[in-house]
Chains A and B, each alone.
Chain A
């Protein structure tokens, strides 16, 4: 019988993190942004049927990058969690914070248990509030940590670069068209800095719209409505540039 090699815990964790990150990087990135009336999810997705974004509960949406079968499994687990909780207690007792915690525990325990393969996914759980101050966005990396985000967040392989781009240009109170165009701009930048075109039919867009009269706020934006939003003449970058310039000068 052979003796197993000793691997230090640090090394084991680093290996697992490396493995998960590589898996996630194979998928395309996606972004989640706050806008005046809610939260918009934007990603490049050539499939019409296999979604990256979906509804979990009345005000809660889900976005994921990485391995499809793994995040689909987590998504259905989340829907079951939310529906069972709402059925046992009340619809108001289902919150994004609770769901994010459950996901974090699930990702974290699997990540640190040596026997199981870590999830190759990065999730976003978002809840739209009655006002922009009530919006909550949580990012859940593969290791089960929780990051409470504000304004904009990017996940996936190229997330860091896209995230920086968004941080500089995103501002509170953007219209849906502005936010959507900013998101597409961010997604169409390649790692080497060059831009490419993402046609509308390859985009998957969904919103959590607080102005919807129904209690279920999640809605997919497809077809004509998507084209109209992308074509609208509202400038996506100019006012933000001016604002960031101002911010820089006031800092000086």
Chain B
């Protein structure tokens, strides 16, 4: 479907009709076939084989929030991709990390980014962080049909709330249910282990640097116990993707920064394979 009508090249009437500020609403009216949620799948026996992304972790600290993801995509017992990216900026003050069917998740992120950007351009103002989180909820819900057939997408959303002036984390389930997480959160196959790791290490007064170290530790622990999560790959120079969102906006750690943290954690794990010890009491 091309944006132009072929006859005259002028903007189609739908483009000039006053409507909502949502790009998804516009798509639903104008070219519904482009909306992922409108697709109907034929009945399939068993599970559809497609690459899956795995573990995403997030933690907040007094000046903001960090979101990080490992780099492995798996298809059954195979590693489908070693350097997949699962953490994306959704706009200047928020980011989304995805676990689940990779192809659908990346498409959902693309549409979500566009939804926020479109609203901002049309209205001349950003959505509230709560509004962004709700929008993502709606998108996951529209994917429910496919989720029931094994093609689920479960994101983790984090951002800087400009009104409340703090970082916030939202987690989702396959039905689009949304809940705000306090302190730290994880999603995906390795999330059980990552959450356990963070539970022991998390404190409320972490610095940005400490929060970044915390999430990379958690990813290491997830990779340690979950075969679908990839640890830092020193030989191929593939390190986790870490995003920090503060008052100044979204910033993705450079490869040099994330490799340094991953290497120093690896170094310590050579002496102490289970990582830092928490106090017994």
Which residue numbers of A lie inside 8 Å of B, CB to CB? 49, 51, 54-56, 73-74, 76-81, 83-88, 101-103, 105-106, 108-109, 214, 216
Contact = CB atoms under 8 A, between A and B. Distances in A.
25 contacts: A49-B124, A76-B15, A77-B11, A77-B16, A79-B121, A80-B23, A81-B3, A83-B114, A84-B3, A84-B27, A85-B3, A86-B114, A87-B23, A88-B34, A101-B9, A102-B4, A102-B9, A102-B11, A105-B9, A105-B11, A106-B10, A106-B11, A106-B16, A109-B10, A214-B92
B111 to A, nearest CB: 7
Interface of B: 1-4, 8-11, 15-16, 18, 23, 26-27, 30-31, 34, 92, 110-111, 114, 117-118, 121-122, 124
Nearest to B89: A214
Given A88-B34, A101-B9, A109-B10, A81 B2 contact: no
A55 B118 CA distance: 10
B3 A79 contact: no
A218 to B, nearest CB: 9
Contact of B121 (A49, A54, A73, A77): A54
Task: Give the secondary structure class of A's interface.
Answer: helix
A79 B19 CA distance: 13
Given A73-B18, A84-B3, A87-B34, A79 B118 contact: yes
B121 A55 contact: yes
Nearest to A220: B124
Contacts, number: 67
A136 to B, nearest CB: 19
Contact of A81 (B15, B18, B114): B15
B166 to A, nearest CB: 23
B122 A79 contact: yes
B2 A73 contact: no
A17 to B, nearest CB: 19
Q: Which of B16, B31, B92 has the most CB of A within 10 A?
A: B16
A87 B23 CA distance: 10
B10 A88 contact: no
Given A74-B16, A102-B10, A106-B10, A84 B121 contact: no
